[in-house]
Amino acid sequence: MSDHEQLRTATSHGQSGDALPPVEQHAKQYETVRYAHETELIEDYVELIGDLIRHRGEARAADIANRMAVSQATVSKMIRRLNELGLVTSKPYRSLFLTEEGQAMAETSRARHNVVLHFLRALGVDDSTARIDAEGMEHHVSDETLAIMQRFTEQRQS
């Protein structure tokens, strides 16, 4: 754990600019990002499956592959994982269904996604850009920030 950094003072090289955060806090930032990366693909799949069911009545692997711009083999492998995680049920060669848990995750993700998307539009971001940015940002926005985004959007729209 030894931290020779502590031997230096905060200003010994101070070309100003924002200071480095304390090591523990800095570490937590990166850990949070790594954790988000572990979960976000799963959430994206579940969210998309939910959307497909909602809008089309069913979710088929080929549609997922098309919309994610990924091979069918990749989707197939992923579906196995989602199955193991208890998020979807599927019979071979048939379309997919979300479990209770999967539905809850889809719902949460969708809500989150929408808050971010509407916030960006309220900020004045162009629709297609907002969609792209929202897709990337949604998994990295804390509940606190999400609540603030939602309030902001509501104020702008009333």
Partner DNA sequence: GATAATAGTTAGCCAAGGCTAAATTGTTTG
Partner DNA sequence: CAAACAATTTAGCCTTGGCTAACTATTATC
Closest-CA residue to 105 (of 118, 124, 122, 86): 86
Closest-CA residue to 92 (of 73, 75, 71, 76): 76
Kindly state whether residue 90 participates in binding DNA, applying the rule CB under 7 A.
Answer: yes
Q: Kindly tell me which residue out of 67, 77, 81, 94 binds its own copies, with binding defined by CB under 8 A.
A: 67
- Judged by beta carbon distances under 5 to 8 A according to partner kind, the member of its own copies, DNA, none in contact with residue 156 is none
Cβ atoms of 135 and 45 closer than 8 Å: no
Q: Kindly tell me which residue out of 75, 96, 115, 130 binds its own copies, with binding defined by CB under 8 A.
A: 130
Count of residues touching its own copies (by CB under 8 A): 65
Q: Kindly tell me which residue out of 23, 62, 111, 123 binds DNA, with binding defined by CB under 7 A.
A: 62
Kindly state whether residue 126 participates in binding its own copies, applying the rule CB under 8 A.
Answer: yes
- Torsion angles phi and psi, residue 29, rounded to 5: -60, -50
CA distances from residue 32 to 19, 47, 48 in whole angstroms, order as listed: 20, 21, 23
For DNA, the binding residues (CB under 7 A) are: 2, 4, 34, 38, 41-42, 60-62, 65, 69-81, 90, 92-93, 95
